[in-house]
Amino acid sequence: MAEQHNILNSSGNELEIIEFYIDELDNNGETYRGYFGMNVAKVLEIIRQPGVTNVPNDHHPAAMGTFNLRNRVLPLVNLAQWLGKQGQSRPSDKVIVSEFSGVVTAFLVSGVTNIHRLSWDMIEAPGSYIADFSQDCVTGVIRLENRILFILDMEQIVASMSKQLDWDWENIEFEEMNSSFGEGCKVLIADDSLPIRRMMTKVLKNAGFTVDEASTGKEALSKLMGYKLDAQRKKAPMFEYVDLVVSDIEMPEMDGHTFLRNVNADPVLSCIPVVLFSSHITEALHQKGEQLRAAAQISKPDMPQLAKKVRAIIHERCGK
């Protein structure tokens, strides 16, 4: 399925979202249907619910077990249970097989409805209330005519379920990297996932970098424009405010490619290198990043490579 859809049209700030739903029982025994979405680019296929082999008790409670799909053993995650919902199990339930950061995972949902092609500026950033009740796993909100779709942070869900994809970066010790490694280097991080953004910030700060954060490309661009105005007022160079930006690609309001295009279009901001750091960098997306003159493109969750590449680019361009 991923090969059949043009996911990110960088010239139009567009993507395609697959809509699915989860049926749950409320306190009165009534069925409530919640609608969710994820990027079609990360969907490999949709299948019927398979038979599973149970997993040991020390696994996450949402881990239903494993199943064989064309000679490949895959974990099956009960998405309703992960979200803390009392889901209704039915023979008609569907399984979405997805790939994130090289890890293939299957998610059990109640059903799949449609694919929506829309622009990133149609996706709202979640408010604090939504973030709190969703365990910080909602990265965007889409308001349709008669329902609301919540875009889920699937990377966070996968990371919580998989030992293979361990994103506990705060305890990683980088070889030949200490608190003076990034000393004097100022980095702006743009990522819509709060847990990932926090971990990235902590790791870079531990390596000596000065870090600022933004939750969307739109917010990151606003911060850069603020730096620019202050620099012009004080007649100071931009590198006194920021040396480099690390940006995710998929973000509400403004995706990473559109953010990069806006940075390059500004004669002042264009001097700032932008590194794309995403869990989904296909060959096509990599080509788009090159066309937009990304300073580097790195796949999550390779944090050591990111920190070293950021330091090397700043040293090369700024002499720091």
Q: Report the pLDDT value the prediction gives residue 122, as an integer from 0 to 100.
A: 86
**Strand, helix or coil for residue 46:** strand
Would you say 102 and 302 are in contact if contact means Cβ atoms under 8 Å apart? no
Q: Report the pLDDT value the prediction gives residue 224, as an integer from 0 to 100.
A: 96
Per-residue pLDDT of 210-234, as tens digits, reads 999 999 999 999 999 999 999 999 9
**Ramachandran class of 27: left when φ > 0, alpha when ψ lies in -120 to 50, beta otherwise:** alpha
CA 187/CA 204 separation, integer angstroms:
9
Using the predicted structure, report yes or no on whether residue 7 has a pLDDT greater than 50.
no
CA 91/CA 252 separation, integer angstroms:
34
Q: Which domains does the chain have, with CATH numbers?
A: 2-161 (2.40.50.180), 169-318 (3.40.50.2300)
Using the predicted structure, report yes or no on whether residue 167 has a pLDDT greater than 80.
no
Would you say 244 and 185 are in contact if contact means Cβ atoms under 8 Å apart? yes
CB atoms within 10 A of CB 107: 27
CA 133/CA 182 separation, integer angstroms:
36
Would you say 256 and 245 are in contact if contact means Cβ atoms under 8 Å apart? no
Q: Quote the tokens at residue 99.
A: 């790939």
Using the predicted structure, report yes or no on whether residue 67 has a pLDDT greater than 60.
yes
Q: Report the pLDDT value the prediction gives residue 13, as an integer from 0 to 100.
A: 65
**Strand, helix or coil for residue 125:** coil
CA 250/CA 100 separation, integer angstroms:
13
CA 31/CA 284 separation, integer angstroms:
42
Per-residue pLDDT of 256-284, as tens digits, reads 999 999 999 999 999 999 999 887 667 77
Per-residue pLDDT of 88-99, as tens digits, reads 788 899 999 998
Q: What is the DSSP letter of 272?
A: S
Would you say 60 and 160 are in contact if contact means Cβ atoms under 8 Å apart? yes
Q: Which of 2-6, 154-158, 170-174, 260-264 has the lowest mean pLDDT?
A: 2-6
Q: Report the pLDDT value the prediction gives residue 219, as an integer from 0 to 100.
A: 95
